[in-house]
A and B are shown apart, each in its own frame.
Chain A
Amino acid sequence: MSVENPAERYLRSDRMPHIWCPGCGIGTTVNCFTRAIDESGIPMDRLAVVSGIGCTGRVAGYMHVDSFHTTHGRAIPFATGLKLAAPDMKVVVYSGDGDLFAIGGNHFIHAARRNLDMTVICVNNLTYGMTGGQLTPTTPEEAIASTSPYGNFEHPFNLPYLAESCGAVYVARWTTYHVTQMKKAMKEALLKKGFSFVEVISPCPTLYGRRNRLGDSLDEMKTYKTRSVIKNGADTKEVDLGMTGSIVVGKFVDRERATYQDAMEAFYSRKLGNRYVRASQ
Chain B
Amino acid sequence: MHADPAGVLTGAHFIDGDHACCEGALAGGCRFVAGYPITPSTEVVERIALRFPEVGGVFIQMEDELASSIAIAGAVWGGKRAMTVTSGPGFSLMMEHIGFAIMTETPCVFVNVQRGGPSTGLPTLPAQADMMQARWGSHGDYELIAVCPNSPQECFDLTIKAFNLAEQYRVPVLVMMDECVGHMMERVIIPKPEEIEIFPRRWTNAPLDEYLPFEPGEDLVPDMARAGQGYRFHMTGLTHDEKGYPDMTVTGQARLLGRLIDKIKKNAAALTDVVEDQVDGAEAVVISYGITSRVAQKAVQAVRAKGRRVGSLRLRTAWPFPEHLIRDLATKVKVFIVPELNFGQMVREVERCAQGARVVSVPHAGGTVHDPAIIVQAITEALR
Seen from chain A, the residues whose Cβ lies within 8 Å of a Cβ on chain B are: 12, 14-15, 44-46, 48, 50, 60-61, 64-71, 73-74, 77-86, 88-89, 106-107, 110, 264, 268, 272, 275-281
The B interface is mostly helix, strand or loop, or mixed, namely mixed
Which of B60, B71, B73, B228 makes the CB contact (< 8 A) with A66? B228
Which of A45, A60, A82, A276 makes the CB contact (< 8 A) with B74? A82
From known contacts A70-B237, A77-B67, A89-B78, infer whether A280 and B56 are also in contact, taking CB-CB under 8 Å: yes
Q: How far is the CA of A79 from the CA of B70 in the complex (A)?
A: 9
Contact A77 B54 (CB under 8 A): no
From known contacts A69-B235, A81-B75, A82-B74, infer whether A279 and B57 are also in contact, taking CB-CB under 8 Å: yes
Known: A66-B231, A277-B53; 19 extra A-B contacts, CB below 8 A, are A45-B228, A60-B234, A61-B246, A68-B77, A69-B236, A71-B70, A71-B96, A74-B97, A80-B74, A81-B32, A81-B82, A83-B74, A86-B228, A88-B228, A106-B63, A277-B54, A279-B56, A280-B56, A281-B79
Contact A81 B231 (CB under 8 A): no
- Interface of chain B residues 1 through 56 with chain A (CB within 8 A): 6, 31-32, 34, 53-56
**CB-nearest residue of chain A to B234:** A67
Query: Which interface residue of A44, A67, A272, A280 has the most chain B CB atoms within 10 A?
Result: A67
Contact B234 A83 (CB under 8 A): no
**CB-nearest residue of chain A to B71:** A81
Contact B227 A48 (CB under 8 A): yes
Contact B80 A85 (CB under 8 A): yes
Closest Cβ–Cβ distance, residue B204 to chain A (whole Å)? 13
Contact A85 B97 (CB under 8 A): no
From known contacts A77-B67, A78-B70, A81-B34, infer whether A86 and B55 are also in contact, taking CB-CB under 8 Å: no
Contact B232 A81 (CB under 8 A): no
- Count contacts between A and B, CB distance < 8 Å: 149
Contact B71 A80 (CB under 8 A): yes
Q: How far is the CA of A235 from the CA of B246 in the complex (A)?
A: 42
Determine the chain B residues whose CB is within 8 A of the CB of A79 once the complex forms: 74
Contact A279 B31 (CB under 8 A): yes
Contact A107 B63 (CB under 8 A): yes
Closest 10 CB pairs of A and B: A81-B74, A85-B78, A86-B78, A81-B71, A69-B236, A82-B74, A77-B67, A81-B75, A85-B75, A78-B74
Contact A45 B77 (CB under 8 A): no
Contact A77 B74 (CB under 8 A): yes
Contact B72 A81 (CB under 8 A): yes
Q: How far is the CA of A106 from the CA of B53 in the complex (A)?
A: 27
Which of A60, A73, A74, A85 makes the CB contact (< 8 A) with B32? A85
Query: Which interface residue of A15, A60, A61, A89 has the most chain B CB atoms within 10 A?
Result: A61
From known contacts A69-B237, A80-B60, A86-B228, infer whether A268 and B71 are also in contact, taking CB-CB under 8 Å: no
Query: Which interface residue of B54, B227, B246 has the most chain A CB atoms within 10 A?
Result: B227
Determine the chain A residues whose CB is within 8 A of the CB of B79 once the complex forms: 85-86, 281
- Asked if B382 CB lies within 8 Å of chain A CBs, one says no
Contact A68 B235 (CB under 8 A): yes
Determine the chain A residues whose CB is within 8 A of the CB of B31 once the complex forms: 279
Determine the chain A residues whose CB is within 8 A of the CB of B58 once the complex forms: 84-85, 264, 279
Contact A77 B238 (CB under 8 A): no
Determine the chain B residues whose CB is within 8 A of the CB of A15 once the complex forms: 245
Determine the chain A residues whose CB is within 8 A of the CB of B365 once the complex forms: none
- Asked if B298 CB lies within 8 Å of chain A CBs, one says no
Closest Cβ–Cβ distance, residue A123 to chain B (whole Å)? 18
Q: How far is the CA of A279 from the CA of B71 in the complex (A)?
A: 16
Which of A46, A60, A67, A71 makes the CB contact (< 8 A) with B100? A71
For this complex, 23 residue pairs linking A to B, each with C-beta atoms less than 8 Å apart, are A12-B234, A46-B228, A48-B228, A60-B236, A61-B246, A66-B232, A68-B236, A69-B234, A70-B100, A74-B67, A74-B70, A77-B71, A78-B70, A83-B74, A83-B78, A84-B32, A85-B80, A86-B226, A106-B64, A107-B67, A264-B58, A275-B54, A276-B53
Determine the chain B residues whose CB is within 8 A of the CB of A83 once the complex forms: 74, 78
Closest Cβ–Cβ distance, residue B97 to chain A (whole Å)? 7
Contact A268 B78 (CB under 8 A): no
Determine the chain B residues whose CB is within 8 A of the CB of A264 once the complex forms: 58
Q: How far is the CA of A88 from the CA of B228 in the complex (A)?
A: 8
Q: How far is the CA of A60 from the CA of B72 in the complex (A)?
A: 19
**CB-nearest residue of chain A to B66:** A74
Determine the chain A residues whose CB is within 8 A of the CB of B234 once the complex forms: 12, 60-61, 66-69
